């Protein structure tokens, strides 16, 4: 550290302004990138299809929101965990576990016990989310109390959740769901019929068929509404509450947090439990959307969810990141997938691009610190 040259007094105004600019760029590049991607796909999809295909449509916006829902929910809990310096690798199979258990409970209570679906569905979803919170709690307990690295503990939990969900489901997709399940997963808050005889409808799907049905778009499907509420709550918790502050503190300097009297062990347990809960939401929403419980629901999405978190600016060393960043990260990945499919490019390019963006995100963070360090030492 170039300490000699640093007085306690205020550094020059100019370098301060430079710093503000660089900080702003490093914070906003993901937004700019996302908007750029959307513009890119809007133009290329339109022009390569000879004007037949539009990227910017109501339907597509809702598709993208639906596509990010599970990735985002898995990433939200992960955001907290990684900010605090941990990692949760169990999210994929725990999501499958929640999906299977919610479907089993709903099927059993409606088909075998005669419970009304209006009761059985909330019950099943509640049990499903709980079934994901428990492995999260156990993860946290082992990590906090036995000081085993989170990587190992959550990897182990991933296998355990996988085994249990396959055992419970017999490897089958758990079916026999009442109609309300599929409705919750596929119906929406609003319906829009564009063009002739159209309009905006609230809650009740207009009973149309044929060509008019083709013009019907679902605006804010229920899973998107649920994800939005969870996101809003966690945005508040991370950035406005003591819980969030302590999450950052633990990731920034665990020892300092401990000495300052932050109940670190208890907090770590709560963080992994929170991760389990958000994953549980992803699991039960899978059940709803696909009308059945599936143990393999989450595994293919796990790496995407971690990529979303990293693109969003969460440092793997802990201490940095935001809920908004993770939302952007998930949006970037979903826009890429959708855009490339609509461009009729093989979606495998998506992996290449996501890989580049992940590395870019980390590079931008490091470049920021480097440049600011230079400004300060001058």
Partner 1 sequence: MSKRFVTLLILSLVLLSIVPFAVAQDAPAKPKIGFLPGVVDPFYQVMEIGVNEAVADFGLEVVTQYPQTWGPSVQTPILEAMIARGDLDYLITAPTDKEQMIAPLQAALDAGVKIITVDTFLGDGDYVNGPVTFPISYIGSDNIEGGRIAARALAEVLGGKGKVYIQNTNVGVSTTEQRGQGFKEGIAEFPDMELVGEDYNLDDANTSVEQTAAKLQAVPDLAGIFGVNVFSAYGAGNAVKAAGLEGKVQVIAFDATADAIQNLRDGVVTLVIAQKPHDMGYLAVAFAMADWRGVTSIPKHVTTGYAVINAENVDDPEVAKFIYQVPGQ
Partner 2 sequence: MEPILSARNIVKRFGGLTAVNQVSLDVYPGEVVGLVGDNAAGKSTLIKCISGVYQPEEGEVYFQGQRVHFARPIDARKAGIETIYQDLALAGNLNVPANIFLGREIKKAYLGGVVHTLDEDTMLRESDKLLKDLEIRFPSLHMQIDKLSGGQRQAVAIARAMYWNARFIIMDEPTNNLGVVEQRKVLELIRRLKAQNVPVILISHTLPDVFAVTDRIVVMHRGRKVTEKRTADTNSEEIVRYMVGALDDTRATA
Q: Smallest gap, in angstroms, from Cβ of residue 292 to partner 2?
A: 37
Q: How far is the CB of 288 from partner 1 (least distance, A)?
A: 9
Cα–Cα distance between 256 and 27 in angstroms, integer? 26
In angstroms, the Cα distances linking 145 to 69, 141, 149, 150 are 33, 6, 11, 12
Q: Which residues in the 248-287 window bind partner 1 by CB under 8 A?
A: 286
Instruction: Candidates 118, 242, 344, 377: give the one binding partner 1 (CB under 8 A).
Output: 344
Distance in angstroms (rounded) separating the CA atoms of residues 148 and 217: 49
Indicate the residue among 240 and 378 with the shorter CB distance to partner 2. Answer: 240
When asked if residue 182 is in the footprint of partner 2 (CB under 8 A), the reply is no
Q: What is the dihedral of CA 195, 197, 198, 202, to 10 degrees?
A: 180
Which parts of 22-81 interact with partner 1 (CB under 8 A)?
31, 34-35, 38, 49, 51-54, 56-61, 63-64, 66-67, 70
CA 178 to mean position of chain CA atoms: 28
> Residue 11, Cα to own-chain centre: how many angstroms?
40
Per the listing, tokens 């564009």 go with 194
* Residue 346 binds partner 1, judged by CB under 8 A: yes
Distance (Å) of CA 211 to CA 62, 181, 183, 189, 195: 20, 27, 22, 22, 11
Q: Smallest gap, in angstroms, from Cβ of residue 269 to partner 2?
A: 17
CB of 258 to partner 1, least distance (A): 27
> Tokens 């990138």 — which residue?
33
Q: Which is nearer to partner 1, 60 or 275 (CB)?
A: 60
Nearest to 180 by CA among 97, 230, 124: 124
| Residues 6 or more apart whose Cβ sits within 8 Å of residue 103 | 124, 128, 174, 175, 177, 181, 287, 292, 293
194 binds partner 1 (CB under 8 A): yes
CA distances from 140 to 8, 315, 329 (A): 41, 20, 25
- Residue from the set 260, 316, 363, 370 that interacts with partner 2 by CB under 8 A: 260
Per-residue b/e over 195-212, b at no fewer than 16 CB within 10 Å? eeebeeeeeeeeeeeeee
Edge-to-edge, what's the strand order for the sheet holding 188-193? 199-202, 188-193, 216-221
Q: With CB cut-offs between 5 and 8 Å by kind, which of partner 1, partner 2, none does residue 260 bind?
A: partner 2
Task: Out of 17, 145, 240, 374, name the contact with partner 2 by CB under 8 A.
Answer: 240
**From the list partner 2, partner 1, none, partner contacted by residue 301 (C-beta under 5 to 8 A by kind):** partner 1
Task: Let me know: does 55 contact 42? Beta carbons within 8 Å.
Answer: yes
The binder of partner 2 chosen from 156, 176, 198, 252 (CB under 8 A): 252
Would you say 183 or 362 has its CB closer to partner 2? 362
Instruction: Please tell me whether residue 148 binds partner 1 under the rule CB under 8 A.
Output: no
Query: Residues interacting with partner 2, by CB under 8 A?
Result: 1, 3-11, 16, 236, 240-242, 245-246, 248-249, 251-253, 255-257, 259-262, 319-320, 372, 376
Query: Residues interacting with partner 1, by CB under 8 A?
Result: 31, 34-35, 38, 49, 51-54, 56-61, 63-64, 66-67, 70, 166, 170-173, 175, 182, 185-186, 194-195, 211, 213-214, 216, 235, 239-240, 286, 289-292, 294, 296-298, 300-301, 322, 324, 327, 331, 334, 337-339, 341-342, 344, 346-348, 351
């Amino acid at each position: 550290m170039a300490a000699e040259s640093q007085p306690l007094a205020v550094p020059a105004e100019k370098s301060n302004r430079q710093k503000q600019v660089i900080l702003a760029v490093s914070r906003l590049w993901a937004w700019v990138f996302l908007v750029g991607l959307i513009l890119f796909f809007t133009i290329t999809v339109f022009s390569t299809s000879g004007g037949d295909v539009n990227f910017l449509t109501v339907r597509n916006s809702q598709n993208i929101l639906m596509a990010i829902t599970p990735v985002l929910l898995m990433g939200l809990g992960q955001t907290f965990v990684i900010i605090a310096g941990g990692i949760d690798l169990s999210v994929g199979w725990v999501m499958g576990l929640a999906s299977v258990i919610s479907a089993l409970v709903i099927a059993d209570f409606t088909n075998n016990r005669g419970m009304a679906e209006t009761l059985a569905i909330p019950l099943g979803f509640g049990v499903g989310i709980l079934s994901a919170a428990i492995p999260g709690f156990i993860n946290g307990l082992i990590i906090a109390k036995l000081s085993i690295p989170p990587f190992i503990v959550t990897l182990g939990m991933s296998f355990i959740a996988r085994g249990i969900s396959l055992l419970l489901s017999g490897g089958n997709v758990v079916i026999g769901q009442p109609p309300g399940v599929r409705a919750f997963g596929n119906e929406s808050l609003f319906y829009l019929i564009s063009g002739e005889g159209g309009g905006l409808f609230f809650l009740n799907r207009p009973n149309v068929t044929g060509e008019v049905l083709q013009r019907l778009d679902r605006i804010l499907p229920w899973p998107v509404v649920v994800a939005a509420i969870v996101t809003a709550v966690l945005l508040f918790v991370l950035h406005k509450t003591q819980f969030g502050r302590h999450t950052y503190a633990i990731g920034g300097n665990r020892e300092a947090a401990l000495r300052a009297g932050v109940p670190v062990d208890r907090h770590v347990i709560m963080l992994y439990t929170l991760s389990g809960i958000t994953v549980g939401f992803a699991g039960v929403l899978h059940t709803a959307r696909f009308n059945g419980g599936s143990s393999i629901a989450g595994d293919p999405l796990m790496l995407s969810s971690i990529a979303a978190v990293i693109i969003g600016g969460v440092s793997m060393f802990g201490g940095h990141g935001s809920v908004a960043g993770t939302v952007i990260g998930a949006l970037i990945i979903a826009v890429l997938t959708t855009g490339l499919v609509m461009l009729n490019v093989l979606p495998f390019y998506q992996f290449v691009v996501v890989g580049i963006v992940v590395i870019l995100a980390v590079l931008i963070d490091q470049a920021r610190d480097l440049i600011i360090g230079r400004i300060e030492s001058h």
